[in-house]
Amino acid sequence: MDKIKYLMVIQWSEEDNCFLVALPDFPGQCWRTHGETYEEAVINGQEAIESLIMAYQGDDEPLPQPLLANPV
């Protein structure tokens, strides 16, 4: 996939004992994936974004606009 420009928020969860990944640009569920390490969470987050993009395209739905389209 071309460069992904969607926001990923990665946060450690003591309760779950892993890094949780949120994708705030996509409506719905707050936490989309996770990883035991930060690096694994990043990879899983990228895969989740790619899957969401394919699902939107498969349903002929427009992709959501990134919340931070013009970051400072």
| pLDDT at 72 > cutoff 60 | no
Average per-residue pLDDT for the chain: 89
Closest CA to 50 of 9, 5, 1, 7: 1
Residues 19-45: tens digit of each pLDDT: 999 999 998 877 789 999 999 999 999
SS3 content of the chain, % helix, strand, coil (to 5): 30, 20, 50
Residue 68 pLDDT > 70? yes
Tally of structural domains, the chain: 1
Task: State percent of the chain over pLDDT 70.
Answer: 89
Q: Report yes or no on 66 lying in a domain.
A: no
Q: Which domain holds residue 17?
A: 9-58
Q: Is 4 inside a domain boundary? A: no
In angstroms, the CA 5 to CA 22 distance is 14
What pLDDT shows up at residue 66?
87
Q: Which residue has the tokens 């895969």?
A: 47
- Residue 4 phi/psi, 5-degree rounding, is -85, 130
